[in-house]
Amino acid sequence: MMLLTCPNCGARNVSEFRYVGEAKSRPDPETATPEQWRRYLYFHRNPAGWIKETWYHGSGCRRYFGIERNTVDNAQRPAGVTS
């Protein structure tokens, strides 16, 4: 079980967290086309490398937070650092 670094609580077992998914911006529901909306719902970049994600620390501070994680080796860095 990997460790995940919560910005509030520090490194904790990943079982304390819920994976929300790749960080995405929500299209404007008034103007989004079905194509745009379904890309938001169902399409993921899923790269082998750095990815910006949202996690929820349900068994800790109960905060949602963004983090960048390298899917190859699970290396992590705070969200916002450019790759």
CB of 23 or CB of 50, closer to other proteins: 23
Q: In degrees, to the nearest 5, what angle opens at C-alpha 37 toward C-alphas 32 and 39?
A: 135
Binding mask 1-30 for other proteins (x = CB under 8 A): xxx------xx-x----x-x-----x--xx
Binding to other proteins in span 24-63, by CB under 8 A: 26, 29-30, 32, 34, 37, 40-41, 54, 56, 58, 62-63
How far apart (Å, rounded) are the C-alpha atoms in residues 70 and 50?
4
Asked if 69 and 76 count as a contact pair (C-beta separation under 8 A), the reply is yes
